[in-house]
């Protein structure tokens, strides 16, 4: 997953490791809170990327979604694209859609 950044945004997202060494970490963290990301440069190379917790959670959620999609695609390939209709799955387990109506919604991870 690559996200293209505009040149101006990219330039504002870069900071030097020397700022951290000079005790400006709190200021950098405030900048991350506002912008979501900072790329820390050391010896003219990217050394690390600082992300806001919200951006990190968003990225991790998207990665999880991608993993699920890849698993679905793998399973469809293994089964030659054959799927079982939902009502047949329910019937095979002795259930009907009416049986599910009273159940709470559960998010499966």
pLDDT digits (tens, 9 = 90+) for 4-28: 666 666 677 899 999 999 999 999 9
Mean pLDDT of 44-59: 94
CA atoms of 74 and 80, how far apart (whole Å):
10
The pTM of this model reads: 0.61
Burial class (CB in 10 A: 0-12, 13-18, 19+), 50: buried
Residue 32: CB atoms within 10 A of its CB come to 19
pLDDT above 90 (res 102): no
Q: Are 35 and 23 in contact (CB under 8 A)?
A: no
Higher pLDDT, 60 or 78: 60
**Separation between Cα atoms, residue 8 and residue 5, nearest integer Å:** 8
């Amino acid at each position: 997953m690559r996200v293209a950044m505009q040149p101006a945004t990219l330039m504002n997202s870069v900071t030097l490791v020397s700022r951290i060494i000079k005790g400006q970490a709190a200021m950098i963290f405030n900048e991350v809170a506002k912008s979501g990301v900072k790329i820390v440069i050391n010896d003219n190379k990217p050394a690390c990327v600082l992300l806001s917790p919200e951006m990190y959670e968003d990225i991790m959620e998207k990665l999880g979604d991608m993993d699920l999609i890849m698993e679905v695609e793998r399973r469809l390939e293994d089964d030659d694209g054959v799927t079982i209709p939902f009502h047949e799955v329910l019937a095979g387990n002795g259930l009907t859609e009416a049986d599910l109506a009273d159940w709470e919604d559960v998010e499966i991870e």
